[in-house]
Amino acid sequence: MTMPRRHLLAAMGSALAAFAAPSAVQAATAFPSKPITLIVPNAPGGAVDLLARLLEKPLQQALGQPILVVYKPGAGTVMGTDFVAKSAPDGHTLGMVVTSHVINPGLRPQMPFDTTRDLTGVSLLATSPIAISARADLPVANLKQLIDYARQQPGKLSYASPGAGSSMHLAAELLKLTAGIDMLHTPYKGNGGAYQDVFGGRVDLIFDPLFSSLPHIRSGRMKAIAVIGPRRSPIAPDLAAANETLADFSVESLFGLVAPAATPAPVVDRISSEIARILATPEMKRRMAEAGLTPVGSTSREFNDLIRKEMLRWSQVIKQAGVKLD
């Protein structure tokens, strides 16, 4: 008797699944079989590099293979992440990503890879709060006063960011859209020159990581306006969170780990679970807090869901604000 076509197709599918399943299990069992390359898509220095170095030794101990940190900066982290996307999907090449990972798809029309098709999230490693700070003599003391002041003088206030299309720039543009205010963007290459211009009164505000701004706030060279996170920061608990004034207004810098999309799920899950365990240790929590980072350690699925959600949010902000790269 001839088997009906639908039954034949179902049987073939089951056979293929049965054939494929052992290969995934074998891949997980064999992993890792050689040193693991960890791509940092930025130049040495900065929070993402520090986080990679913090993870290097404990992850090496957990997986039993050397972790090789390799720097591939360029094109707003695109070059390094593209290298990861095109690497063998076996878990031996991983990539650090930051907030630009979810911003770039809406900002750069000619991406060499598809963020959600060619890569998979492994873990959201950490978050870091962004601060709004002002020149010391600006006549405002909190976010409500800043919004009122900006409404009274539309287009007169200026704000610095470490570059067009950066997470700091887009956080400011989201504030403008949410609060209905107009401010002038002054982009810098990095934040060194930006701080000097705020100190000198040539720029009114700066959007930058709280950890970077805090020494200047404490010295009195700038005044703190708000932290743009979902809650107050433990390193500056007296500084109000922006959503205490603007409901649901929250932006944090994101730090994560990705792998090529076809990496077997058991391999991704093993790396994710080891990282979650490492990030939960008291020593790692202490060292990350010293760098202004809050450890997370999510599952792959949780991080992928966040990536999609944040990509949608920032693409809408980019479109509404008319943000373009210089």
CA angle 99/44/122 to nearest 5° reads: 40
pLDDT for the residue 277: 97
User: Does residue 21 register a pLDDT over 60?
Assistant: no
- Give the C-alpha distances (Å, rounded to integers) separating 174 from 57, 203, 314: 38, 19, 9
Over the stretch 130-155, which tens digit does the pLDDT of each residue have?
Answer: 999 999 999 999 999 999 999 999 99
Query: Burial code of 132-155, b = ≥16 C-beta within 10 A, e = fewer?
Result: bbbbeebebebbbebbebbeeeee
Domains 36-128+253-321 and 129-244 share a fold: yes
Average pLDDT score over residue span 28-54:
92
pLDDT for the residue 23: 56
Spatial separation of the C-alpha atoms in residues 20 and 188, rounded to whole Å: 51
pLDDT for the residue 100: 95
118: tokens are 């060619």
Average pLDDT score over residue span 233-241:
92
Q: Which residue has the higher pLDDT, 81 or 193?
A: 81
Are the beta carbons of 317 and 323 closer than 8 angstroms? Answer: yes
CATH code: domain 36-128+253-321 is 3.40.190.150
Average pLDDT score over residue span 114-141:
96
pLDDT for the residue 192: 75
Peptide bond before 58: cis, by omega within 30 degrees of 0? no
User: Does residue 202 register a pLDDT over 70?
Assistant: yes
Domain ranges of the chain: 36-128+253-321, 129-244
pLDDT for the residue 109: 86
Spatial separation of the C-alpha atoms in residues 234 and 293, rounded to whole Å: 10
Rounded to an integer, what is the distance from CA 75 to the centroid of its chain? Answer: 16
Confidence of residue 191 (pLDDT cuts 50, 70, 90): confident
Q: Which residue has the higher pLDDT, 130 or 24?
A: 130
pLDDT for the residue 318: 96
User: Does residue 19 register a pLDDT over 60?
Assistant: no
Confidence of residue 6 (pLDDT cuts 50, 70, 90): very low
Fold of 129-244: D-Maltodextrin-Binding Protein; domain 2 (3.40.190)
Spatial separation of the C-alpha atoms in residues 67 and 59, rounded to whole Å: 7
pLDDT for the residue 27: 57
Over the stretch 54-66, which tens digit does the pLDDT of each residue have?
Answer: 999 999 999 999 9
| Amino acid residing at 281 | T
User: Does residue 45 register a pLDDT over 50?
Assistant: yes
pLDDT for the residue 84: 98
Nearest to residue 40, comparing CAs of 67, 4, 62, 8?
67
Q: What is the DSSP string of 228-294?
A: -SSS-BTTBTTSPBGGGTSTT---EEEEEEEEETTS-HHHHHHHHHHHHHHHTSHHHHHHHHHTT-E
pLDDT for the residue 3: 46
pLDDT for the residue 129: 92
Mean pLDDT for the chain? 91
Q: What is the DSSP string of 219-238?
A: TTSEEEEEE-SSS-BTTBTT
Nearest to residue 214, comparing CAs of 227, 202, 201, 204?
227
pLDDT for the residue 101: 97
